[in-house]
Chains A and B, each alone.
Chain A
Amino acid sequence: MAVTNIVIAGLGGQGVLTASDILADAAFRAGFDVKKSELHGMSQRGGSVTSDVRFGDRVLSPMVPPGEADVLLVLEPTQSAINRGLLRHGGVLIGPEIIPEGALRNRKSLNVAMLGALSTLVSIAEEPWMAAIHANLAEKLHALNEQAFALGREAAAHRAA
């Protein structure tokens, strides 16, 4: 399979890195070669954060080349415009507005809800997604985030229909 390129963008504290950890882990569990990378440090003090995840038969660079992202997943509306240039021609931008305001029991699970929306576009089965959510989050958060994932998946399917 050709390499799938995903960029997740948001602000420090929104769970961008957790989301990319879950996505990379799900792709890894699905048997793909995976690389992911991002910048830590200063970016975590409320500043802009992006994380790149790439998976396929064989991945070389850990960074998504600008203009080659298949999907840009944006957790914060202000981060859409500044990252749009990362998308390839015909690439898909998924913004936080896809998750209806008030639909989530806890807005902190927006990152996982967004992964649910992303899951309709990538070839990773549900089982590795669930395993990755469980492996990367504390047990008390599992049920909440499973619901968030399902909600995001439904919202994206609804929009596509």
Chain B
Amino acid sequence: MTGERLLLSGDDAVALAALHAGVELGTGYPGTPSTEILETFDRLGGRAQWSPNEKVALEVGIGAAFAGARTIVTMKHVGLNVAADALFTATHTDVDGGLLVISADDPGMASSQNEQDNRHYARAAAAPMLEPMDSQQAYDFTWLGLELSERWKIPVLLRLTTRICHAKTVVRPRAARAPRAPEPFRRDIPARVMIPAYAKPAHQRLRQKLAEMAAWNEAEGPLLQELNDRALGILSTGVSAVHAREAAPEASHLSIGLTYPLPFERIRAFAAEVERLVVIEEGDPLLVESLRAAGIPAEGKPEMYRFGELNVARVRRILAGDTSPEPVPPPGKPPELCQGCSHRVVFEALRDLGCIVAGDIGCYTLGVLPPFSAMDTCVCMGASIGVGLGLRHVLPEAEARRVVSVIGDSTFVHSGLTGIAEMVYNPPPTGHVVLILDNGTTAMTGQQEHPGTGRLLDHSPTNQLNFEGAACAMGVQNVHVIEARDKDDSLRELLSEALGRNETTLIVARQPCVLAAPKIRFYEKAAAEQSEEI
């Protein structure tokens, strides 16, 4: 402790801890509610970079950790699905530098396409998981996660949720760690080359590491126990721990920080102290099922509380066994596309042309709402292209001809290129039309850079990925670039023409995001001035 007292969001607390703990590289892909971690880490002087997607971010992180550097990799919950391929085998390897993979879940889906509970990943990928209850623990567990990762040479998951990431609470930071001197490459083939001959013993080692970590968790893991009235004992994790303490201050409480592998004997001892044990956990009934499997009798929550965030009122209802319908708050004003947004022009055209629109993830998903109602599917990052092709393959010809895939620029870089490869390789008989809505930024998450903008996370210039060039090189038959403007029918005409051909077409509709445009001009001016000085 330095005696300093700060008011920080969970995201900012993680960034500050990463800086203090000597993290040498932070990678990730923007996604609410995780985005601010890398932005703050950069602002504080850390080395942070956006990757094209979460899988690449984690792969870069694994390389940095193999080279001995403390590394963080950030993403939202669905991002871990993309990075899962790397994670599931990375746990079998030995990392040298601490590798902390940060998953920010969105229970209640404030800004996400699903409500998945990433606690499942800990067990599935055999990755230890830490879950903080506030910004102080977010700070402490970032340190701890890196230390545990180095001690057992294993990637560690730090699972945050919206009310950790975007809640500000008081943090007392520690003194920063002295920087590490760079070390030469150390070859360790059996620990890092996962061919079956090495992966088989690696799996044995992985289970041994987890057994040792479980023992450590029993002996000195980050637990918070308060024995009060023994009539009711509450076991909780993450932000639920503070909801539970407020909802039932008279009860006995046990909250677990390292939630995989679990400290079953500590929980068993707590269970023995209380008459009634209730598990308060947000999302899936994962903890309560683990307890029951370990032979610890515990009450869970009624199914209705699986959906949405928990809060103090809902915890009170769970404890009272209240399953009566919950009061529904009056609906607020829904979000909408900004006035002057170029997406408006595009969705008006798609609506008026009667297109069947395979959509994607971003601001433009708002094209599904009135007055446009011009989107028919939205599944995951990049799915617009594959789903659009699937529709084209199967629908009657007259309808197949009206299918358009609509994808944003950042989403295209994230997961669209493989879709283009599919379109070129397996073109439907009617061809296909892909529309990239290139507004020059990752708009939805707060205007982050990506490889298509030609600027780095800190907005300084770098190489730029050229969409139209890539599409031509990949073999798309027709490639067009157009500015999406009001009072101009050229987009409609181009679309109509493309829909009439039995060929593959990619149209880049380019117009900077109205919110980002002034900043983009500022970055471009700064870059021009800098290059003049050189």
Contact = CB atoms under 8 A, between A and B. Distances in A.
Nearest to A9: B332
B76 to A, nearest CB: 10
Nearest to B311: A63
Contacts of B444: 41-42
Contacts of B110: 39-43
A34 B329 contact: no
B169 interface: yes
Contacts of B338: 45-46
B313 interface: yes
Contact of A85 (B327, B337, B366): B327
Best-surrounded residue of B311, B331, B333, B336 (most CB of chain A within 10 A): B333
A65 B162 CA distance: 17
A12 B254 CA distance: 39
Contact of A47 (B327, B330, B336): B336
A61 B312 contact: yes
A25 B33 CA distance: 21
The dominant DSSP class at the B interface is loop
Nearest to B332: A48
A60 B332 contact: no
B168 interface: yes
A33 interface: yes
Contacts of A24: 7, 168
A19 B24 CA distance: 35
A45 B514 CA distance: 12
B411 interface: no
Nearest to B339: A46
A82 B331 contact: yes
B168 A34 contact: yes
A36 interface: yes
Contacts of B246: 60-61, 65
A51 to B, nearest CB: 10
Contacts of A37: 163, 166-168
B33 A41 contact: yes
B163 A47 contact: no
Interface in A22-37: 24-25, 28, 33-37
Contacts of A45: 335-338, 363, 366
B314 to A, nearest CB: 9
Contacts of B366: 45
Interface in A62-108: 62-63, 65-67, 78-79, 81-82, 85
B363 A62 contact: no
Contact of B330 (A46, A62, A63, A82): A82
Contacts of B334: 47
Interface residues of A, number: 35
Contacts of B153: none
A44 B327 CA distance: 25
B345 interface: no
Best-surrounded residue of B332, B336, B445 (most CB of chain A within 10 A): B332
Nearest to B31: A41
Interface in B330-361: 330-338
Contacts of A34: 7, 168-170
Contacts of B336: 45-47
A39 B166 contact: yes
Given A11-B333, A43-B110, A45-B366, A61 B243 contact: yes
Interface in B226-253: 239, 242-243, 245-246
Best-surrounded residue of A12, A36, A59, A63 (most CB of chain B within 10 A): A63
Given A36-B167, A60-B245, A61-B312, A42 B329 contact: no
B114 interface: no
The 9 closest A-B pairs by CB, nearest first: A41-B111, A48-B332, A45-B335, A37-B167, A47-B335, A62-B167, A60-B246, A39-B110, A41-B32
Interface of B: 7, 32-33, 108, 110-112, 134, 162-163, 166-170, 239, 242-243, 245-246, 311-313, 327, 329-338, 363, 366, 444-446
14 contacts: A28-B170, A34-B168, A37-B163, A40-B32, A40-B33, A40-B110, A42-B444, A48-B333, A60-B245, A63-B163, A78-B333, A79-B333, A81-B330, A85-B327
